[in-house]
Structure 1
Amino acid sequence: MSEQKNELTEVREGETLTGTVIKVEDKQVLVDIGYKTEGIVPISELSNLHVETAGDVVQEGDQLTLMVKKVNEEDDEVVLSKKAVEADKAWEELERKYDNKEKFETEVKEVVKGGLVVDVGVRGFIPASLVETYFVEDFSDYLNKTLEVKVADLDREQNRVILSHRAIAEEEKEEKKNEILNNLEEGQVLEGTVQRITSFGVFVDLGGVDGLVHISQLAHEHVDNASDVVSEGDKISVEVLSVDRDNERISLSHKNTIPGPWSDIEDRIQRGDVVDGVVRRLVNFGAFVEIQPGVEGLVHISQIANRHIGTPQEVLESGQQVKVKVLDVNAKEERISLSIKELEQEQESKEYKQYEKDEDQSGFQLGDFIGDKLNKYK
């Protein structure tokens, strides 16, 4: 050891040298640098981060590269710094990463008010707004966590190192969005999550990119308010109608992925059925009557009344509740023929038969009555 000390006859401030830790105290470390006295590394010069005890950073026998901070020749005292050497290297490395927009990993050492502190050779700071793409209320789970970051801002004179994990998350999100956009094709059926509801439809997240389901594509029946059909957070199936990759616009349909009102219509509506309906539209050749949600049938003008009429408006009006008889069901062409006239004829026939029956009963009872009276005179 003494031979090593004799090798170094002079120590100058600012120079860099190598030493071996020979003693670790709470607030300082003694280092053999081959000089006539051991060098001292105060705890404040061990790390760029807050350190409780020197033993948290170094141990006896460790080889350290140190910078001479101060030389007191009267007392032969040499004050050394470990963090100064690391800082010089760190700044060079950080400047290179900043220029190259390089991604790298770092460990969160402290959670402080306003963000996260990391060790990148110097003290680095990730502001709360640059941690994630979303709001984080409690950062306690980030302590000792390794994050991938980029240098957002660098100022050596101010000793300021601002890092961003959010930039990485945004890049990944953009890459994922582009991947989805490039793989989307018309006719694909996917599952998405309702993100936002507007007056004209809903935006659905497809896993990194949003598409629009226009209100007309939400259901087979007419929809006044999208919120009547879906809520934010709902998982729904959608079909891709069109993809505009340049403008990142995706048109979707929920309606096309769910059974339509005409599905299995022949199992629900048969010829001869009498059903209630609502007049939806009047045209010169008849009236369209909705008999189930989204299912309209035609009452031809010749089937509207049990008499000749010039226009459907003479008998019917839009919104009117009517009872109709099913004449024919064509599921393939989604057409149903209806009649009001047949019900009127059947009702008239029924009333006439009832009248005849009542007449027969009245005649019989009258004869019986007259017969009884005549018998009294016999």
Structure 2
Amino acid sequence: MNFILKQLNADAQENGAAAEQPAEAATTATTNAPVAEPVVETAHDDFDWTVDKRNVAHYSADEKAKYDAVYENTFVQIEDGEIVKGSVEALTKTDVVINIGFKSDGLVSFNEFRDVQGLQVGDVVEVMVVEKEDRNGNLHLSRKSARIFRAWERIVEVHKTGEVITGTVTSKTKGGLIVDVFGMETFLPGSQIDVKPVTDYDQFVGKTMEFKVVKINEAIKNAVVSHKALIESDIEAQRAEIISKLEKGQVLEGTVKNITDFGAFMDLGGLDGLLYITDISWGRISHPSEVLKMDQKLNVVVLDFE
């Protein structure tokens, strides 16, 4: 009897051990299974990422081109080299921001406004469109180029009409002087400064004088001016007036302008006259310089004229 009980205990222990093994295996399997990461909620979890596909009109290539054209036409249509007016939108230490009605504002160096006193926001200025879009996509404007363009237009006009203009001698150069006319540099040859030869050009630098445009070069936008031409015009007018009133026996005041062996040439205010050596003095002289000197003023009698 005791033997049977022992056998039953052995069977029970054996069955109990068998039952514990699956449980232990289940525990091990649970331990080795991957653990799911905790879900972190964000502020955009409820955002519908398909919203960009809603209420969006799809245009054909022709329609897109049409609407692009309408948009572009809301801006001023400009071309490179065009002269336009714009308003000053802002001033920086180095540049002036100009609005010409284009899709972007343009910058002009402050140096180009050195002649403008009290430039301020809202002022209207004239500029040239150098490039609608440079390499960086910026609108390139220039006030200096616009001024030169307008100056050249005026120079061409006064050359046609023969109008007398005013300019300022800014510097000396080889063979003459540089003259600022309407904001543009022109050339004044040394031979066109005066009717008399000029050797000292420095005395004219900084002076404001009257000129005539005597020559232009359209290809290189270059102009030649003359002050001598005005003097000659005045002299010619005076000469015509003197001749119209000239009579034999008339007494005129003249200035000695040149002395030669046979006499002296007199400037009679636009008309040159010759005073022979025999008519200079009652007494006999060997050379006019014995009695006369350059720039001396004296009264003379008109003996004859042609």
CA distance in 2, matches of 1:99, 1:136: 31
| Matching residue's letter, 1:41 | V
Aligned to 2:107: 40
CA distance in 2, matches of 1:74, 1:226: 76
SS in 1 for 2:284: coil
Which has a greater percent of strand?
1
Is structure 2 residue 274 aligned with structure 1 residue 215?
A: no
Aligned to 1:110: 170
Aligned to 2:30: none
Structure 1: which 5+ residue stretches go unaligned?
Answer: 1-5, 47-53, 245-378
Is structure 2 residue 124 aligned with structure 1 residue 124?
A: no
CA distance in 2, matches of 1:86, 1:28: 18
**Count of matched residue pairs:** 229
Is structure 2 residue 244 aligned with structure 1 residue 187?
A: no
CA distance in 1, matches of 2:249, 2:76: 83
The structure-2 alpha-carbon separation of the partners of 1:204 and 1:10, relative to structure 1 and needing over 3 Å to count, comes to closer
Aligned to 2:80: 13
The structure-2 alpha-carbon separation of the partners of 1:225 and 1:65, relative to structure 1 and needing over 3 Å to count, comes to closer
The structure-2 alpha-carbon separation of the partners of 1:33 and 1:117, relative to structure 1 and needing over 3 Å to count, comes to same
CA distance in 1, matches of 2:87, 2:124: 5
Q: Indicate conservation of the 8 Å contact 2:215/2:223, yes or no.
A: yes
| Matching residue's letter, 1:57 | V
The structure-2 alpha-carbon separation of the partners of 1:187 and 1:37, relative to structure 1 and needing over 3 Å to count, comes to same
CA distance in 1, matches of 2:265, 2:224: 35
CA distance in 1, matches of 2:291, 2:126: 68
| Greater relative contact order (CA < 8 Å, ≥ 6 in sequence) | 2
| Matching residue's letter, 1:63 | V
Q: Indicate conservation of the 8 Å contact 2:152/2:221, yes or no.
A: no
Scaled by the length of structure 2, the TM-score of the pair is 0.64
CA deviation after TM superposition for structure 1 residue 141, in Å: 4.6
Identity over aligned residues, as a percent?
A: 30
Aligned to 1:238: 300
Residue 67 (structure 1) aligned to one of 128, 142, 147: 128
Which has the greater radius of gyration?
Answer: 2
Structural mapping, 1:283-362, within 5 Å: none
Aligned to 2:224: 162
CA deviation after TM superposition for structure 1 residue 224, in Å: 3.3
SS in 2 for 1:56: coil
| Matching residue's letter, 1:179 | E
CA distance in 2, matches of 1:70, 1:208: 54
Scaled by the length of structure 1, the TM-score of the pair is 0.53
Q: Indicate conservation of the 8 Å contact 2:178/2:185, yes or no.
A: no
The structure-2 alpha-carbon separation of the partners of 1:62 and 1:109, relative to structure 1 and needing over 3 Å to count, comes to farther
Deviations 1:251-289 (A, max 9, x none): xxxxxxxxxxxxxxxxxxxxxxxxxxxxxxxxxxxxxxx
List 4+ stretches of structure 1 deviating above 6 A: none
Deviations 1:183-240 (A, max 9, x none): 2211122232222222222222222222122222222233333333323333222111
CA distance in 2, matches of 1:109, 1:195: 28
CA distance in 1, matches of 2:124, 2:304: 65
SS in 1 for 2:302: strand
CA distance in 2, matches of 1:11, 1:233: 62
Deviations 1:339-377 (A, max 9, x none): xxxxxxxxxxxxxxxxxxxxxxxxxxxxxxxxxxxxxxx
